[in-house]
Chain A
Amino acid sequence: MLQAGAWYRPAYYGAPGDIETCVRREVLQVRRGVGLIDVSTLGGIDVRGPDAAEFLNRIYTFAYKKQATGTVRYALMTNEAGVVIDDGVACRLGDEHFYVTATTGGVERVFRAMLQWNARWRLDVSLANVTNAYCGVNIAGPESRSVLAALVDDLDLSAAAFPYLAMREGGVAGIPARILRVGFVGELGYEIHVPQHCGEALWDALVEAGKSAEIRPVGIEAQRMLRLEKGHVIVGQDTDAMSNPLELQMSWAIARKKPYFVGRRSLQVYEQRPLDRLLTGFCVEDDGAPLPKESHLVMDGEQMIGRVTSCGLSPTLGKIVGLAYVPPALAEQGSHFTIRCDNRVSVSARAVATPFYDPDNERQEL
């Protein structure tokens, strides 16, 4: 088990100490078959009322007023300085009802910020932290649809009826559920949210239904590798106290036509200046090179010019991939930079575009 904020989460399933084998097995399980990830620790906030969409528009960088009911949109949160402080997804359940998720360790901070901001804005919204009311399970992999289909009676799971980034409500094994199609791990998958006291029954039902597909539980170490293969950032790991969406190359998540959102003014200032660094994907092409670790430095001679935020040997791709902050010139695809690993061993890395895996996102949109 691994401590994640106030929670303990399963790091991997298998013999203690055998982490590499177990993580590799779990990653490939999701890529080739179907896996189950307990995501119950994710934060959940109900935003309801006539001003719900306006409230989300002000709190997050993306746009929500025109979001259709039954859809899911990425939610990136910045503070007044334009620094990224959390992310999640916003599900629209109705004209005046959104269910937004937050990171495992961040929901208390996010909820508090929401209350503080609305004390000023006085928008007509009701905010409820419902994290502890729901359990969440992510069933992911090319076999996930067939496994889930065995447990639903009132939902059409076909790609046409339930496309990527859609949200549906229905029964799973007789349990009322909110089901989201999101792509954190980059495969066909369904994030199922059910009432807290039904979580165990849901897990049991999915394990039973997935037996013929050899379903396996998947821990967060494998989940971290799966998302790294897709180039997705983890707030708090790939971001620091100064990271803004521009440095993260996430300008796509900023709705610039909105008149206001928290951090907008600061981002406008940043956009007028050249950036000092960019978060870039990289790979290590030398098969014999040591594995760079998180926080290993990017060096120009003896000068520190950046650092690694995430890195690992990808079971799917068979090579070392990672994310690092580097000067913008070195973030251009094909550029080479040097990472100083343990014992001052230098490793050459090459900047590459992300996602590393399935760059056209075809697999998650099946």
Chain B
Amino acid sequence: MMNAVNPVQCVRRSMLYRWHERHDASFIEHAGAIVVANYAGGPAELAAARELGLCDLSTLPRWGVTGRGATAWLTDSGFDVPADVNRAAQQVNGDVLARLSDHEYLLLSTSSLVTAEPPAGFPYVQDHAAGPVYELPRQDSHAWFALTGRKASTILASICGVDMRDATFMDGAVAQTSMARVSAVVLRSDLGDTAGFLVLVSSTAAEYLWDAIAGAMAMPGGAAIGIRALNRLVE
């Protein structure tokens, strides 16, 4: 991990960086982005990640594509493409590719949680010879959170109508739904043995949803966590 940095020194800033600063976050450069390394740090945050943790991944790489040729292009480019809508497939490098409709996909660079580097070839350039394929600005249209831990599905039940318990919302499941009254995309992507939910919400509602989730987490003893705690989950 690199030395601590100040998010204000960077052009790309999470919508939540002021919240993080108020909660004594330490920031680092990671995968070409500025992320929270930790708040409390050490065993306390790792324990929170295993029980109930919330991590802001908004500055990490992600990418979207749509169009009639999207499926063929992704397949030809070597991606493992989910056969069904509302399913996600883990790629060889650890990234997660979610199918949001017949022709729309979302790629989350979950590999960068571990490698501290953007995935090779990112941002991808589409080859129009495969048919109409259009990029979507998912790096900026949505904020990205990870909700982790044993109690995560219980928290989600209080703010989302979709049943996300283990038996019904397993690894690779995707829900395009409403969370705390705003539209959100939720992917189940476990981190090692720890339940993991990747939440995407409009950037313009990032602070609102973060506050809503953090509020729902308060009573069961949840906590905001940094990238170091997430890394420890997958070691």
Taken residue by residue from 56 to 85, chain B's Cβ proximity to chain A (1 for < 8 Å, 0 otherwise) reads as 001100000011000000000000000000
Report yes or no: A130 in contact with B141, Cβ–Cβ below 8 A: yes
Does B15 sit within 8 A of A, measured CB to CB?
Answer: yes
Does A361 sit within 8 A of B, measured CB to CB?
Answer: no
Cα separation A143 to B105 with both chains bound (whole Å) = 44
Q: Which of A197-205, A243-251, A262-270, A316-324 contacts B (4 or more CB under 8 A)?
A: A197-205
The residues of A that contact B139 with a CB separation of less than 8 Å are 195, 197
Interface residues of B in 20-55 (CB under 8 A from A): none
Report yes or no: B134 in contact with A126, Cβ–Cβ below 8 A: yes
The residues of B that contact A201 with a CB separation of less than 8 Å are 10-13
Write the chain A residue with the least CB distance to B15. A197
Taken residue by residue from 187 to 205, chain B's Cβ proximity to chain A (1 for < 8 Å, 0 otherwise) reads as 0000000000000001110
Q: A175-B11, A197-B15 known; A126 and B203 CB under 8 Å?
A: no
Q: A132-B203, A132-B204, A133-B141 known; A48 and B11 CB under 8 Å?
A: no
Cα separation A202 to B134 with both chains bound (whole Å) = 26
Cα separation A108 to B85 with both chains bound (whole Å) = 24
Report yes or no: A133 in contact with B13, Cβ–Cβ below 8 A: no
Does B132 sit within 8 A of A, measured CB to CB?
Answer: yes
Q: A126-B66, A126-B67, A128-B66 known; A197 and B141 CB under 8 Å?
A: no
Cα separation A348 to B63 with both chains bound (whole Å) = 59
The residues of A that contact B132 with a CB separation of less than 8 Å are 49, 124, 126
Write the chain B residue with the least CB distance to A205. B11
B142 to chain A, nearest CB (A): 7
Residues of A in contact (CB 8 Å), total 22
Report yes or no: A197 in contact with B58, Cβ–Cβ below 8 A: yes
Does B136 sit within 8 A of A, measured CB to CB?
Answer: yes
Cα separation A46 to B64 with both chains bound (whole Å) = 14
Report yes or no: B66 in contact with A133, Cβ–Cβ below 8 A: no
The residues of B that contact A204 with a CB separation of less than 8 Å are 8
Does A173 sit within 8 A of B, measured CB to CB?
Answer: yes
The residues of B that contact A124 with a CB separation of less than 8 Å are 132
Cα separation A131 to B202 with both chains bound (whole Å) = 10
Report yes or no: B137 in contact with A130, Cβ–Cβ below 8 A: yes
Does A290 sit within 8 A of B, measured CB to CB?
Answer: no
Report yes or no: A48 in contact with B137, Cβ–Cβ below 8 A: no
Report yes or no: B11 in contact with A133, Cβ–Cβ below 8 A: no
Does A174 sit within 8 A of B, measured CB to CB?
Answer: yes
Report yes or no: A200 in contact with B137, Cβ–Cβ below 8 A: no
Residues of A in contact with B (beta carbons under 8 Å apart): 46, 48-49, 124, 126, 128, 130-134, 173-175, 195-198, 200-202, 204
24 CB < 8 A contacts A-B? A128-B134, A128-B136, A130-B136, A130-B137, A131-B204, A132-B140, A132-B141, A132-B203, A133-B141, A133-B203, A134-B140, A174-B11, A196-B15, A196-B140, A196-B204, A197-B12, A197-B13, A197-B59, A197-B139, A197-B203, A198-B12, A200-B13, A201-B11, A202-B11
